[in-house]
Amino acid sequence: MRFLFLFFFVFNLNAQQSYIDYLSPYHPTVSNKGMVVTQNNLSSDVGIEILNKGGNAIDAAVAVGFSLAVTLPRAGNLGGGGFMLVYLKEKEEIFYIDYRSKSPLNASIDNIFDLNGKNISPIDFSDDIYDKTRYGYKAPAIPGTVAGLLEAHEKFGSLPLEEVLAPAIRQANEGILVSYDLEKAIDDTHQLKKDPESLRIYFKNGSAIKENSIFKRPDLEKTFKLIASNGKDGFYKGDIAKAMVKAMNLNNGLFSLKDFESYSAEISEPIVGSYRGNLVFTAGPPSGGGITLLTALNILSFFDLKKFNSDSAVTYHLISEALRRGHNNRSHFVGDPDYFDVPVNQLLSKERTIELAKTIDIKKASKSTVVKPLELIKESRDTTHYSIIDKMGNAVSNTYTLGYSFGSGVTIPDTGILMNNQMNNFAYRYGDKKERGRGASTGNRFEAGKSPMSTMAPTMVFNEKGELILITGSPGGSLIPAAILRVITGVIDFDLDIGQATMLPRVHKDWPTTGILYERTLNSDVVRIINKRIGHKMTSEHTMGSTQSIHINNQTNYGFADLRRPNASVSVQTN
């Protein structure tokens, strides 16, 4: 009898320990209902509010996109642009919406850089001249966010637009509680202080708005209401467009009403690759991030990562070499497909992949010179991404940006709209034979009316049965593919939960630059092995990206908001 008691005691103890002995400190949020993962908790809650009203994932995504303009003004926006993937469960269809910003139609090298007819090549420009595309009224491209979000709503939404925008209108009216991060981000952004309207909004008596104060946005409330009542025309053909053009004209900017009247978001198919039997869908051109990601996954398919640990030196070496070759693919022939015939099939072909994979030595770092371009710009990290799934299984992966943190620093008076600085993303050094990097890209050369290349890459992964298993994406400029790649390999190659996969240390290796950037959480012994034995120059980095992800496993949603940036959160339906 005593033996039986001890047996059951030990059995129950072990059963209990199997639950409470947690495998990882990074716990996903679990739900079989709707889920929203964004970089701001208040906006995540807005998405759930819309789902609870009977809206679908697309309605929630639109609501979140507008809400983030209030809660995360450094990246959430109406004055920028981005890319979105939409998955409709019932129809088993996936769509790609390109709402990237576009260069003004009357823009030229001469008027962008105020050359006044001087015969000066961009090759000879100094950094201070390039500042015209970074800050102030010459930096913004025509914003596409409103067109993209409303195109998604018009084609795939279910609730009236007024109902979808009501939470963002309420947030703008009532205000939000300023977080520590928001105060510090504003205080650290010099271009905001140079614009009178931005200075008025984000600073009080010369100091950034204070933590725990209430930040109301009556200007954005007015703009939101105009859009709610008039749709896209309220932004691109009405008072808002006129206000933007007026502000541009007063400040030597380049916008015209024709730019707004002619702007449209484009709906097409995403690009797709296969990885370990799973289909990976992501953004196509003008995204170069999607090309980079799929190239890297194609290359890694030739190596059995499961033979190594997720944090081994060989794993990081192979990921770095694959990323370098992905960045090589995007550095030459990726641009706006309306202006340049991007050879997507060739870049992602089996022949090209084999050519690149053969240049990788599993024991030794390669030189940039062995990675040849296919025969035929400093980027900002201050973007934001969110992932959403509804109870029916419809899903959205959306990444949008202002460029730099708080973009150009310019806020259009009376609208609250903070403008992007995406004119900085063109290749102005086209034709410079001394330039090996993306600054001389054939595909991304500057042209009027054109969208600049971006590294944004909203992503969805489907298993061999055609079931959606992963929704992810990240901010981070050129580091975006590295962040997404690490999450995908963590889930697929190493069978990690989404929390563990998200918090794996990340590495980035570009082309043609030398060395690996690595997060400081990477094991120091691994860093030493990669440096001394394999031969990579190692440079520490603070953090890379901020993936907001949902992993779907056995019809259960596991959400995880990356801990690399504050205030990100997962919100779920409870009713």
Phi, psi of 93 (to 5 degrees): -125, 150
User: Which whole-number Å values give the CA distances from 435 to 127, 326, 328, 377, 425, in the listed order?
Assistant: 15, 18, 13, 11, 16
Phi, psi of 117 (to 5 degrees): 85, -5
Strand stretches in 390-522, DSSP E: 395-401, 411-412, 417-418, 459-462, 468-472, 507-508, 516-519
Tokens (6 digits) for 298: 């194609």
Task: Say if residues 451 and 340 touch (Cβ distance below 8 Å).
Answer: no
Element (H, E) at 6: helix 2-20
The b/e string for 520-538 (b: 16+ C-beta within 10 A; e otherwise) is eebeeebbebbbeebebeb
- Which one, of 386, 381, 388, lies nearest residue 402 by Cα? 381
Judged on CB neighbours under 10 Å (0-12, 13-18, 19+), 256 is middle
Amino acid at 288: G
Q: What is the spatial distance between Cα 254 and Cα 107, in angstroms, rounded to a whole number?
A: 6
User: What is the CB-side half-sphere exposure of residue 152 using CA atoms within 13 A?
Assistant: 34
Q: What is the spatial distance between Cα 256 and Cα 413, in angstroms, rounded to a whole number?
A: 17
- Which one, of 567, 545, 547, lies nearest residue 559 by Cα? 547
Radius of gyration of the chain (CA): 24
User: Which whole-number Å values give the CA distances from 273 to 149, 276, 347, 439, 502, in the listed order?
Assistant: 26, 10, 12, 27, 21
Positions annotated as catalytic residues are 383
- Which one, of 88, 36, 84, 91, lies nearest residue 60 by Cα? 36
User: Which whole-number Å values give the CA distances from 542 to 90, 312, 506, 517, 522, in the listed order?
Assistant: 42, 20, 10, 10, 11
Q: What angle do CA 445, 451, 454 make, to 5 degrees?
A: 85
Q: What is the spatial distance between Cα 42 and Cα 334, in angstroms, rounded to a whole number?
A: 36
